[in-house]
Amino acid sequence: MILHTLIDYDILRLIWWSLIGVLLLAFAITDGFDLGTGILLPFVAKTDIERRVVINSVGPVWEGNQVWLILGGGAIFAAWPQLYAVAFSGFYLAMFAILVGLILRPVAFKFRSKREEPEWRARWDWVLFFCGFVPTLIFGVALGNVLQGVPFRLSSDMHIFYDGSFFGLLNPFAVLCGLVSVAMLVMHGAAWLQLKTEGAIAERTRFLGSVAALATFVLYAFAGVLLWAYIDGYRITSVINPIGPSNPLLKTVDGHVGAWFVNYAAQPWTLAAPALGLLGAIGAWLGLRMRREIFTILSSAVSVSGIILSVGASMFPFILPSSIDPRASLTVWDSSSSHLTLFIMLVVTAVFIPIIEAYTTWVYHVLWGKVDEQAIRDESGHAY
């Protein structure tokens, strides 16, 4: 018996759909507070030493946190090649803007304190703000477009045609989702800064973080209402073959308003995801107001997780619906790599993900504690 047949093809597809979600969650929770901290930097730190405290709160960990984004991109490329092809070609300019932010961020970290001129450092501080705000906004805008359907189609030989434009992505609902993303990660960044700083920085952080937590609750709830009442969702109307070939054109799909909420009615336990998104935001708000540091960061992480999981729960089994040819929509069952490829990747993942998790846990354990202003002054040759 061939080894990879020990796990059925449909189970492997489900596992990899789940693993992509896990990688995205890991990125949002860890690198999310990095991005949120960058957005907050110009507003919670008024002096140069305060800004250095904020930067050094994430300086030792941000590079490791980005590993989850790299793993997620690589996993999509290998496990869901059609998704990778459509997303990275259709969202090309948006992806380029994200990459500009992610490329400039390490430059800003390294060069900001190389010179002592206030103007020099202030410019790099705003670069860090840009590198936090722009990727965060675009991630949300992209997700909003995915929920509405992306304007692509497939030819009979699986050739991909994208009929949209960059500015077409900036529709009202997608921009609203972008604002949800910004508010969510500002809340998460504030939870992190409350954990890692003290004094005036922490006080300013609590105020702005409280506003962001309430904004997350309101904007996310409003986006949910719009999605239920006005936005077309998609449902497969033909027989589903979980072990069928990776050919999206073999199915039929219907689109109608409210279709994204069918899964919640069929599987009520999935309502836990949006509930956690809302309750976590309220918990983060309470934690910031009550100065409960651990409770706040955990509540914020729960909110981030719930908001992201609610998208996966509502869309399943769709991964990337098409707004102009619903039949071409990519789903869990018809857009994956081969059975053997998914199995080999699963074996590799089972080996390396625990190693990465163990190392990450050890790093956070070693770096646990507050970032002290005096320590920054004393370690001027080593701190950012």
pLDDT tens profile 344-376:
999 999 998 899 889 888 988 888 888 887 777
Measured CA to CA, the distance from residue 292 to residue 191 in angstroms comes to 10
| Residue 49 vs residues 46, 343, 374: alpha-carbon distances, Å | 8, 51, 9
pLDDT digit string (tens) for 172-229?
Answer: 999 999 999 999 999 999 999 999 999 899 999 999 999 999 999 999 999 999 999 9
Q: Look up residue 266 and give its two tokens.
A: 């069929």
The tens-digit pLDDT sequence of the chain (384 residues) is 466 667 889 999 999 999 999 999 999 999 999 999 999 999 999 998 999 999 999 988 888 888 888 888 888 988 999 888 888 777 888 888 888 988 999 899 888 888 888 899 999 999 999 999 999 999 999 999 999 999 999 888 888 888 877 778 889 999 999 999 999 999 999 999 999 999 899 999 999 999 999 999 999 999 999 999 999 999 999 998 899 888 999 999 998 999 999 999 999 999 999 999 999 999 999 999 999 999 999 999 999 999 999 999 999 999 999 999 999 999 999 999 999 999 999 999 999 889 988 988 898 888 888 888 777 777 655 567
**What is the model's pLDDT at position 382?**
58
Measured CA to CA, the distance from residue 276 to residue 261 in angstroms comes to 16
109-116 CB contacts, 8 Å cutoff, 24+ apart: 109/55, 109/59, 109/62, 109/384, 112/55, 112/384, 113/52, 113/383, 113/384
Neighbours of 5 (CB within 10 A): 11
The distance in angstroms from the start CA to the end CA of the chain is 56
For the chain, give every domain's residue range: 3-378
CB-based burial, 355-368: b 16+ in 10 Å, e otherwise = eeeeebeeeeeeee
